[in-house]
Amino acid sequence: MNLKAHVLEVSQFGSGNGLPVLLLHEGLGSVAMWREFPEQLAAASARQVIAWSRKGYGSSDDFVGPYSPDFMHREADAAADLMQELGIDRAHVFGHSDGATIALLLAARHPHRVASLVLEAPHVFVEPMCLTAIEALGQVAGNGNMVARLGKYHRDAAAVFDQWHAIWTDPEFASWNIEAELGCITCPTLLIQGENDEFGTFEQIDRVAARLPQSRQLRLPNCGHSPHRDQEGAVLAASAAFMQEFANG
């Protein structure tokens, strides 16, 4: 799909009545890295699910960088632009990790676009444990294994990893925080966090909940940073039920 002279990889799964579900991938993610989850979510929710790879990810056009600390704000605006291009006035939005943060910013900056939020492992501030985990990934990437694995999902896996790793480990990014921007979000929100998440603690979703008193939490045992993989059944059931409760179409 061409979007303002850029080509984005967009995939649609399933069908159904009512508002669609938009999937916003993680910091190293893409359409393909969701694996079977989009089809399963479409079946569980009886809704069309739409996933895309952000610019520079998957098979989408190359990113022109480097990232700046406001990169997730800009991605939220890009998501709103894509919705307009696709003719989607409003949708339920499911985001994972960086994608969950982008979903929060989409709801804050373009509230009329979002019917509800389902957020896995969102980041609203930078935790030391997250930086430690990202630094460890950087060491793995140094021997080529990480980039080789990502090469199955991205046209330029090295660029994807380098730009993501560089911004998260940039000293200027250490003070990044979006909590103050969450107060204007009014849509229903489901917050999902694994108790064994190596990139964030429950404090992330607690801080979101403090700004969004209408939100709910799903804390999952035996679950790491990717609840839709580690606790797939629980995530599908909770997400489908939540979107149905707040369908609005």
pLDDT at res. 147: 85
Structural tokens at position 215: 């939100």
Report which of 57, 66, 55, 2 is spatially closest to residue 32, judged by C-alpha positions.
57
pLDDT digits 0-9 by tens, 117-139: 999 999 999 999 999 999 988 88
Tell me the β-bridge partners of 23.
Answer: 51, 94
**Cα four-point dihedral sign 232, 234, 239, 244:** positive
Confidence class of residue 213 from pLDDT cuts 50, 70 and 90?
confident
Size (the chain), residues: 249
Mean pLDDT of 1-16: 79
pLDDT at res. 29: 97
The structure's pTM equals 0.95
The SS3 assignment for 34 reads helix
Q: How far apart are CA 129 and CA 86, in angstroms?
A: 38
Confidence class of residue 145 from pLDDT cuts 50, 70 and 90?
confident
Q: How far apart are CA 159 and CA 60, in angstroms?
A: 13
pLDDT at res. 214: 85
Q: How far apart are CA 160 and CA 156, in angstroms?
A: 6
Q: How many CA atoms lie within 13 A of 26 on its CB side?
A: 21
219 near 202, Cβ under 8 Å? yes
Structural tokens at position 157: 């896996």
206 near 129, Cβ under 8 Å? no
What is the residue whose two structure tokens read 């700004």?
211
pLDDT digits 0-9 by tens, 163-205: 999 999 999 999 999 999 999 999 999 999 999 999 999 999 9
Give the domain 2-245 fold: Rossmann fold (3.40.50)
Residue 143, Cβ density class (10 Å: 0-12 exposed, 13-18 middle, ≥19 buried): exposed
pLDDT at res. 162: 92
Q: How high is the mean pLDDT of the chain?
A: 93
Structural tokens at position 161: 């990893």
Question: Where exactly are the structural domains of the chain?
Answer: 2-245
Structural tokens at position 95: 């985001």
232 near 222, Cβ under 8 Å? no
